[in-house]
């Protein structure tokens, strides 16, 4: 139990969130688990006895990812037949999940060890918008630093093409195109965006080739366009290579932003839907490190902090926020809001 809510309640709340985010099927899976979990399997016992925080640990999505991984593998024929692109009514889906838990207990239980790492490339549209603002404001090339990089898909956002409503950005022959329902104004699409270096860290970095199936298991199976986009992005990342360092986020930020910056480059810290999963002490250290780095920033060596994270205004979407230090007081602005999976973005503070 977490707070006043039971674990099945947490699964039902996740079901509502999945529907809000465009995945009715995953909502049905979460509801089936809420009703069907028992301590008769190790999978059910581990979930129902979860000692951590069900929301911060994304427990329902760990369980849904485990089932999706099993369905994708073909290891459980009944489960695979109940998953998209096949159709199954609620009774058949629940029976298939029960069969999976009974016959593949070890696989499902082990899959719970790691938190979901969707590495949603669709969030890159918000990063592009923020980076264009940084480029326009500073006139300098960017050195990108990302925490919670997972397999590094968003660390190469400048290599993708974009459809931002009716506007276009990027090479027309880019392997990955990010399409978003875009409302409000536009970022400065003509700003000279140049990335001179990129670095990322994660407490559990994933390899886009070796860990491809695990990453795809976290993509909701009824969102076929999203699944195809991330599969292509993983293939490109495996081909081009963009290693992510295994490191604690606070230690890594302190290491990269502690020294003075190089003139002629703006260092950018960026992250998307990561902040809520970091311990409070880690968040405090990152805030202190960025404030100290910002205090040392100059017009020739600025510091930027770009993030897309939930806030108190709306927990089902993310605020796109940019803080910029250029040798004076920090300037923080809300650039817009974006969907957790990048389906839509509302630009403008």
DSSP 155-186: GGGGGSEEEETTEEES-TT-S-EEEEEEEE--
Query: What's the rounded Cα separation, in Å, for the pair 322 and 330?
Result: 10
Query: What's the rounded Cα separation, in Å, for the pair 233 and 238?
Result: 9
- How confident is the model at residue 5, as a pLDDT? 63
Task: Measure Cα distances from 103 to 79, 91, 108 in Å.
Answer: 11, 18, 10
Q: Which two tokens stand for residue 338?
A: 């974006």
- pTM, full prediction: 0.90
Give the single-character DSSP code of 121.
G
pLDDT per residue over 298-343, tens digit each? Answer: 999 999 999 999 998 887 899 999 999 998 889 999 999 999 999 9
Over residues 48-70, mean pLDDT? 94
Over residues 43-49, mean pLDDT? 97
Other residues' Cβ atoms within 10 Å of the Cβ of residue 190: 10
Over residues 191-211, mean pLDDT? 95
CB 198 within 8 A of CB 144: yes
Over residues 207-219, mean pLDDT? 94
pLDDT per residue over 135-144, tens digit each? Answer: 999 999 999 9
C-alpha 94 chain-centroid distance: 28
In this prediction, residue 219 has a pLDDT band, given cuts at 50, 70 and 90, of very high
Q: Which two tokens stand for residue 244?
A: 């992510």
Of 92, 86, 120, the C-alpha closest to 273 is 120
pLDDT per residue over 6-37, tens digit each? Answer: 999 999 999 999 999 999 999 999 999 999 99
- How confident is the model at residue 349, as a pLDDT? 60
Q: Compute the mean pLDDT over every residue in the chain, rounded to the nearest whole number.
A: 94
Query: What's the rounded Cα separation, in Å, for the pair 319 and 349?
Result: 9
Beta-bridge mates of residue 143: 197, 267
Domain-wise residue ranges, the chain: 7-111, 121-347
* % of the chain exceeding 70 in pLDDT: 98
Tell the residue number behind the tokens 């602005």, with chain if given.
333
């Amino acid at each position: 139990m977490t707070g006043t809510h039971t674990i099945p309640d947490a699964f039902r709340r996740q079901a509502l969130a999945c529907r809000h985010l465009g995945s009715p099927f995953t909502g049905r899976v979460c509801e089936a688990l809420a009703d069907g979990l028992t301590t008769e399997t190790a999978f059910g016992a581990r979930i129902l006895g979860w000692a951590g925080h069900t929301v911060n640990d994304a427990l329902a999505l760990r369980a849904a990812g485990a089932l999706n991984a099993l369905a994708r593998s073909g290891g459980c024929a009944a489960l695979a037949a109940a998953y998209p692109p096949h159709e199954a009514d609620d009774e058949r889906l629940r029976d298939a999940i029960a069969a999976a838990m009974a016959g593949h207990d070890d696989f499902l239980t082990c899959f719970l060890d790691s938190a979901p790492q969707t590495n949603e490339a669709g969030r890159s549209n918000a990063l592009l918008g923020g980076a264009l603002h940084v480029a326009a404001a500073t006139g300098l090339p960017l050195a990108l630093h990302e925490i919670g990089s997972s397999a590094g898909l968003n660390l190469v956002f400048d290599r993708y093409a974009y459809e931002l409503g009716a506007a276009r950005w990027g090479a027309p022959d880019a392997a990955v195109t990010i399409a978003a329902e875009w409302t409000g104004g536009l970022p400065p699409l003509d700003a000279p965006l140049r990335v001179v270096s990129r670095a990322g860290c994660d407490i559990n970095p994933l390899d886009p080739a070796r860990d491809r199936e695990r990453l795809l298991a976290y993509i909701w199976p009824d969102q076929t366009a999203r699944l195809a986009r991330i599969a292509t992005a993983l293939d490109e990342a495996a081909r081009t290579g963009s290693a992510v360092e295994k490191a604690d986020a606070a230690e890594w930020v302190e290491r990269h932003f502690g020294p003075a910056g190089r003139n002629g480059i703006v260092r950018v810290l960026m992250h998307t839907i990561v902040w809520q999963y970091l311990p409070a002490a880690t968040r405090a250290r990152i805030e202190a490190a960025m404030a100290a780095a910002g205090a040392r920033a100059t017009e020739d060596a600025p510091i930027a902090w770009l993030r897309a994270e939930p806030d108190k205004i709306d927990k089902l979407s993310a605020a796109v926020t940019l803080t910029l230090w250029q040798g004076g007081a920090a300037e923080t602005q809300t650039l817009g809001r974006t969907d957790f999976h990048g389906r839509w973005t509302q630009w403008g503070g």
